[in-house]
Structure formats: C-alpha cells, structure tokens
Amino acid sequence: MNIVILAAGQGKRMRSALPKVLHPVAGRPMLAHVIATARAVAQARGVSANTIAVIGHGADQVRNAFSERDEVRFVLQEPQLGTGHAVQQAAPLLDESAPTLVLYGDVPLVRVETLVRLIDGAAGEVSVLTVELAEPTGYGRIVRDGRGSVLKIVEQKDANDRERAIREVNTGILVAPTARLKPWLTRLANDNAQGEYYLTDVIAMAVRDGARVSAVAAQDADETLGVNSKSQLALVERIAQRRVAEQLMEAGATLADPARIDVRGEVTVGADVSIDVGCIFEGRVQLADGARIGPYCVLRDVTIGARTQLIAFSYLESTTVGADARIGPYSRTRPGAALEDEVHIGNFVEIKASRMGRGAKANHLAYVGDAEVGARTNIGAGTITANYDGVNKHKTEIGVDVQIGSNAVLVAPVKVGDGATIGAGSVVSREAPAGKLTVARAQQVTIDGWKRPLKKKST
C-alpha cells in the first residue's frame, strides 16, 4: 500500500531552527514514530509499504536524519501550498493498484489499530479519520447529510456559524483508492481564505463522483493530537510516556510513580522489576527479573542482570551488569564497562572500558579505565588507573583476589598479579608480583625550622 506522510511544514510556533518533524517525542523524531507506524500498519495488513515523506523546510536535515533501513522515499514540496499540494508532489510515486493512506509527520501518537480500522472501514473506497472534541476551534468540521454520510470537510476559516458548531472534526488522516485519488488531486483549487490547495476538498469531489465516503472515529482523542508549539510537544511527550509506563507495568514492572519516568528508546523488563521516580532510559535497556532501579538513575544502552540493584543518582552508559550486583549511589559507568555477577560499585566510582570480575569491589571514590579486574579484587578509596599518557590509552591488568590500598595510582601499562597487595598511597608503575605486598611511596621527611608563609599586610 501507499503511505504518504506530510512533513514539509516549518513549524513557526516551535521557534526553533530544527525542522518541526525532527523534534523528539520519547527520544525519537516525531517523523520516525510516524514512519514506524506506517511500517507496522502495512505489516498488520500483510502488504508491503510504499512510504513517501513529503518534506520542505529543512529538507536536507530531515533526509539526513534517516537512513536506507527506514525504507522511506522523500519528495520535496517547494513552495508549501497546502496539504493537497503536498500530496500532489507524491502522486507520481504512487502505485495505482494499491490504496493510499495519508499521515502527518507531526501527529506521532496515532495507533496502528486505529489506522487498520480506518483502512478496513473504507472497503476499497474513501474513509477519513475523525474525532469529536468539546472545543473544536481551529479544526476542519465534518459535514454529514441526513443519513450520516460524509458530504464534505470545511476548514475553520471557511466555515459558517452552523458548521462551526459541529464538534466532529477532521484529523487530516484519510485513505483513498489511488486510481481515483490522482484525478481528484489534479482538480484541486485554491479559492479559499488561505489561498492553499486543501486535501480535504477531495472529500467533496469524491461525493460528487459517487464514491462512498465513510468516517471512522478515533476512540482516543490523544492519538490524533498534532504538534505546532513547544507546549503541545510537551503534552504529547507526557502522553507517550504514560503509554510506555502502562506497557512496562503490564509486563510486570512496579513503577513508584508512572508519571515520573522517561523512556527515550526501548525498555524490556522481567518479572518483579522495580523502578523508582525520576529515572531516564535511553537507547535499548534490558532489566532482568528482580532488578531494582533507584531514584534518578540514567541508563543508556544498558543490560542489567537479575536482582541487581542500582542505587540513587547512578549513570550507566553502554554497559552490561551481571546478576546480584550493587551499583551506586552516584556511580558512573562509561561505554565498554562490563560488570560481572556480584560486583559492587559505590559512591563516586567511575568505570570506563573495563571488566570487573565476579565479586570485585570498588566502593569509594575510584577510577577504573581500560582495565581488566579479576574476581574478588577490592579497589580502595581514591585509587585510579592512570591509563592516559597524553596521547594514547594503556591497559591495566589486575588479577584475582587482589587488595589495593587507598589512594593508589596504577600507571598503565602495568600488571598486578593474583593475590597481590598494594600498599596505600603507592604509585605503581612496574609489575606487582603475585601474592606479595608492593609498596611504592616516597620516603617521609620532616623539615625542622620550616615556617608557613604569611599573607602580606595590606597598606
């Protein structure tokens, strides 16, 4: 089937250099949501999707935001002369043997099930998606005849008082047989208050030509919301987040407050997962059975093992964490961190491109970068791996059952053998042998007669 997505608008009320359809909802551009919905609708009906996005303002930015895997073709609308004019630009790419569904790049919440109902309701002819609003100001009104059939759609600025009293409004979304849609598009005129070519005028043409025009009402008005301002963007964002929260709870997660969670990607949860308030999930996040995420944690492209606990204000990025681990509070892991089962990472500890073996611990104020840390090793407070020489990164290898005292510096590249102990305050730049105590400190000196400098008195 053909799916045309109108995405050419400037969005002046957004007051942004970013094209309107690229503003994110739940971590993805609005247009990306609509493209995904288009693909899902075609899959639900068992057909392939010929998806065409009509772009205009910021066209290059919009094109560059998508790749071949998105399976969408772009056509340029320049100048922008209305919705009918936009679909005209896509007409040469439409397959006349398949119906055409028209969607909008700034209406990201429409559900797949609703669009399938719309297409099925058309029964091969024309069908429009409508919604009933208590306050319909600004929307095109659905005008029906005495039998309830759709006669036409009248835009707000062209409506008379009787038509403005109608509460059933047009969402802009419609489906039509392509072989009939193309001639209707060529007959559009711009003799209206806006001087634009309205796609909605196709409905009156269809009626005059004897086509059956049906209307399918969206069951949830929220899914038809369009975005034309930052306040509307914020409203749509919260609705999208509430949907995700409901899906997570249905999957078995306990949310301390469904209104205080932000998912900007994809989250999968096992049974008995617990998520406290203020957490942000980006990219792909997997939480295994019994995982507990404390308040105000940020997880980006992270896998968390069963029964692992993240304590408040921890930030994990591109990290895998095993089962029964304990992370935080105020811990940070950077890309390439891999923490095995039962690892403990505590206050103000940072792990980068390093593997922590089973049961290893770094509970206080440590930095572990570009390192392999063996099982059951304990890294003392204030310890760092000095992995950067100003040009290149170097690796630190720490064996199993190692005890590293507080405020140690391991100058990479360096190895610490199994069972070794490093004395507190040591700067280790050569191999520390297995099973032995290594101490590398400057000799303590006391200088007699030394006096602390005094501030000069101001004159």
pLDDT in tens, 317-335: 999 999 999 999 999 999 9
What is the average pLDDT score of the chain?
A: 95
pLDDT of residue 363: 97
Q: Per CATH, is 252-438 categorized as 2.160.10.10? A: yes
Q: What is the mean pLDDT of residues 64-81?
A: 94
Separation of alpha carbons 348 and 435, rounded Å: 29
Q: What is the mean pLDDT of residues 195-221?
A: 91
pLDDT tens for each residue of 76-112? 999 999 999 999 999 999 999 999 999 999 999 999 9
Separation of alpha carbons 270 and 282, rounded Å: 18
User: Where are the domain boundaries for CATH 3.90.550.10 in the chain?
Assistant: 2-224
Separation of alpha carbons 433 and 373, rounded Å: 15
Count CB atoms within 10 A of the CB of residue 68: 6
First-to-final CA distance of the chain: 87
Residue 368 and residue 356 in contact, taking contact as beta carbons nearer than 8 Å: yes
Sign of the Cα torsion 196, 197, 199, 203 reads: positive
With a pLDDT cut of 90, the percent of the chain lying above it is 86
Q: With 90 as the cut, is the pLDDT of residue 30 above it?
A: yes
Catalytic residue, candidates 23, 85, 364, 394: 364
Respond yes or no: is residue 57 known to be catalytic. Answer: no
Q: With 80 as the cut, is the pLDDT of residue 168 above it?
A: yes
Sign of the Cα torsion 307, 366, 361, 376 reads: positive
Q: With 90 as the cut, is the pLDDT of residue 54 above it?
A: yes
User: How many residues comprise the chain?
Assistant: 459
pTM for the structure as a whole: 0.89
User: Where are the domain boundaries for CATH 2.160.10.10 in the chain?
Assistant: 252-438
pLDDT of residue 444: 84
CATH of 2-224, one of 3.40.50.10540, 3.90.550.10, 3.60.70.12, 3.30.450.40: 3.90.550.10
Specify the range with the lowest mean pLDDT, choosing from 62-66, 142-146, 242-246, 380-384.
142-146
